[in-house]
Amino acid sequence: MASNPGVPVSFDKIQKSFGPVRVLEELNLQVAPGEFLVLLGASGSGKTTALRILSGLETATSGTIRIGDRDVTNILPKYRDISMVFQSYALYPHKTVAENIGFPLKVRKVPQDALETAVKDAAAQVQIDQLLHRYPRELSGGQRQRVALARAMVRRPSVFLMDEPLSNLDAKLRGHMRAELKHMQSALGTTTIYVTHDQIEAMTLAHRVAILEKGVLQQLDTPAKIYNDPANLFVAQFIGSPPMNVIHGSLEGSSFKTRGTAVDVSVSGRIPSAILGVRPEDCSVVAPGKGNIEAEIYTVELIGDHTLVTVKTGSDMLTVKAPKDFIGSMGENIGVSVSKEHLFVFNAETGARMR
């Protein structure tokens, strides 16, 4: 099934306020043709508002939206050549699967033969061609989600907009649908903008991720770059499961001091209130006195292919990814070893990363 070749999308100085509340602060974002861009953030970060402004369901307070070479800022949604997939699927309960998928073409008065062919093509693309005579109530959540995707695909839009489309599915099905979505988007080459609060979805689906917090774009980059080179403390802690460990202390020269312990770091400066960040997989449990940090075991959780060891050092909790055969007991004193090249230092007051 062919699609429109991807088109570029741009948010140029987009601001949005609801009364005195500023929801988006001058959002500047360029999406490349055919790119899969994920808008990631917690509830209230502005990601859904940005998507709704792009779709035309909300109006920007100021700024310009372009799809391809057209300024669509004040154009009605139906003239923007977009398809939207919602969290709730938004299917018509009284229409069959075939009628739901074909509805956007029926509205456009597409001839019946062409409509039926397009519906069969779209259904085959998401593997629901055996379900065309059923009604939404006779389908599972995953099947309903596929109907919503097929309906979005059937008219071959320039841009797909997706608002948390997998959040109503169980974990196993979500993993399966992620793979399907990624494959489908790659095959169709349609520019896709996808909103989620789930960082695993963002990391696995996106060509690039835009992280929003309180209406401000924090970082825009590839998943690997965001994970390995976070712009600030917010991004560092938002991405990663389990999240990045943080230890409170001070930076004195190229030494991070915390509760009588000094850890060598690769940045230098003087910050009375600093935070040391390190990912769980970059820590290891060692014998007491042999590590950079002294701690005591708080909990041990076998995950399957590894064990998560949570340790307490002063008032900070750290998670260490240990081998699956690790054995330790609560309250046991241990050392935690961290290597210099995997450490990040942040200013605790501003969240800025020291470089």
Same domain, 151 and 256: no
Across the strands, what pairs with 37? 193, 208
The larger pLDDT score, comparing residue 3 to residue 301, is at: 301
Q: Model's pTM, two decimal places? A: 0.89
Same domain, 51 and 107: yes
> Do residues 239 and 344 lie in contact, with contact meaning Cβ atoms separated by under 8 Å?
no
Flag whether 355 is in a domain: no
**Residue 17 CA to its chain's centroid (Å):** 24
Flag whether 4 is in a domain: no
Question: Residue 340 pLDDT > 90, yes or no?
Answer: no
* Burial class for 78, CB neighbours closer than 10 Å (0-12, 13-18, 19+): exposed
153-207 pLDDT, tens digit per residue, is: 888 889 999 998 888 777 887 888 888 888 888 888 999 999 999 999 999 999 9
Of the residues 238, 261, 291, which one is the last residue of a structural domain? Answer: 238
Same domain, 193 and 288: no
Instruction: Please identify which residue in the block is written with the tokens 């909790």.
Output: 317
Same domain, 64 and 173: yes
Flag whether 205 is in a domain: yes
256-299 pLDDT, tens digit per residue, is: 999 878 999 999 999 999 999 999 999 999 999 999 899 999 99
Amino acid identity for residue 99 in this structure? E
Across the strands, what pairs with 66? 10, 71
Region 251-257: what's the mean pLDDT?
Answer: 94
Of the residues 223, 238, 253, which one is the last residue of a structural domain? Answer: 238
Length of the chain in residues, anyone? 355
Structurally, the chain folds into a number of domains equal to 2
User: For residue 290, what are the domain limits?
Assistant: 245-347
Flag whether 3 is in a domain: no
The CATH number linked to 89 is: 3.40.50.300
**What's the pLDDT score for residue 231?**
95
